[in-house]
Amino acid sequence: MNAEIIPFSADVADRASDEPALVVDVEGFEGPLDLLLTLARQQKVDLARISILALADQYLAFIEAARKLRLELAADYLVMAAWLAYLKSRLLVPDSNAPEGQTAEDMATALAFRLKRLEAFREVAQKLMERPRLGRDVFDRGDPEPIAEIRHPQYTATLYDLLSAYASQRSRQALSHVRFAPRKVWSLAEARETIERILGEVAETEWGRLDEFLVRYFVDPEMAATVTASSFAATLEMVREGVMEIQQHTAFSPIYLRKRRAAAGASASPQGETTQ
């Protein structure tokens, strides 16, 4: 809608000359009741004693003026116009034969009440907005001091949690020991480490019997085979490296070993207790 302004001539005669002419911007009204209230104020009388008939006339004249200017009017305004026209006709021509019910006077009183009520709420709305307001007239603490939260952890665990945790880890650990405790294999590395230690214990030139050195490792009969195999393999490796010498006279006869002499090129023959 255009911002057209309609001078509202119907009212001009009643107004003091120094007052500005009532300008009616249809868009500025908050509905027909608001428009009626604005018009009513022009009567400059208490709303309780207002002439509803005169008010209806003013309203209808306004609507007529707006129509002439081809202003679009919301349906609300037209409904009110129709209702006021009806009210006006009933006020002017009372129907004495009408059945009991709402009289034209009741209707007029109801309208006056609504206008009065709207005005009353407008007044208190104004008063409310004029109160000293927070952030406009009064202020709260600008720099509030925050409340620090200190968290106290409270741990929870049930006896069941505790017992099942105990039992399950003890079982787990016990069963894993059962599975892995007996070592059934003597590794090459273990064999070599042992032989090196044995060699360190014997005198330089002495030949020694391998099975005698290892006797303490044969206590567990299950270990005999793996100990023999690994230690023999380890000795061969050490001979190849030139760390020691080894001899065996016949198959399955005892194996002798001794440290290799550092400088001497020739190897001495085994000691007397061995048989050539």
Partner 1 sequence: MVSSAAKRVISEDGESEMKTNARPDEVRILEALLFASKEPLDEKTLSARLPAGFNLKAALAALQEEYAARGVNLVRLGNKWAFRTASDLSWLLTKEQVETRKLSRAAIETLAIIAYHQPVTRAEIEDIRGVTISKGTIDVLLETGWIRPRGRRKVPGRPLTYGTTEEFVSHFGLEQLSDLPGLEELKGAGMLDGRLPPNFSVPVPSDDPALREDEDPLEPGDLDYGLAPRPTSEE
DSSP codes, 57-74: HHHHHHHHHHHHTT----
Shortest Cβ distance from residue 114 to partner 1 (Å)? 7
Shortest Cβ distance from residue 87 to partner 1 (Å)? 15
Tell me which of 21, 163, 225, 268 binds partner 1, using CB under 8 A: 163
Tell me the Cα Rg of the chain. 60
Residue 102 carries which side chain, given as an amino acid letter?
Q
Burial class (CB within 10 angstroms; exposed 0-12, middle 13-18, buried 19+) of 167: exposed
Calpha distance 65→78 (Å, rounded): 13
Q: Does 275 bind partner 1 (CB under 8 A)?
A: no
- Complex with partner 1: residue 100 or 137, whichever CB lies closer: 137
CA 109 to chain centre: 59
> Nearest 5°: phi and psi at 6?
-105, 120
- Complex with partner 1: residue 177 or 240, whichever CB lies closer: 177
107 neighbors 90 (Cβ within 8 angstroms): yes
Q: Does 264 bind partner 1 (CB under 8 A)?
A: no
Q: Does 159 bind partner 1 (CB under 8 A)?
A: yes
Contacts of range 159-165, beta carbons closer than 8 Å, 24 or more positions apart: none
Tell me which of 164, 248, 253, 271 binds partner 1, using CB under 8 A: 164
Tell me which of 166, 185, 196, 205 binds partner 1, using CB under 8 A: 166
- Complex with partner 1: residue 92 or 148, whichever CB lies closer: 148
229 neighbors 237 (Cβ within 8 angstroms): no
Tell me which of 44, 67, 170, 183 binds partner 1, using CB under 8 A: 170
Handedness of CA 174, 180, 183, 187 (dihedral sign): negative
- Complex with partner 1: residue 21 or 175, whichever CB lies closer: 175
Calpha distance 45→42 (Å, rounded): 8
Q: Does 267 bind partner 1 (CB under 8 A)?
A: no
Stretch that binds partner 1, among 93-101, 165-173, 182-190, 250-258 (CB under 8 A): 165-173
- The pair of three-digit structure tokens given for residue 74, joined into one six-digit string: 């919301």
97-156 positions binding partner 1, by CB under 8 A: 113-114, 116-118, 120-125, 127-156
Q: Does 46 bind partner 1 (CB under 8 A)?
A: no
- Complex with partner 1: residue 139 or 252, whichever CB lies closer: 139
Residues in touch with partner 1 (CB under 8 A): 30-34, 36, 76, 113-114, 116-118, 120-125, 127-159, 161-178
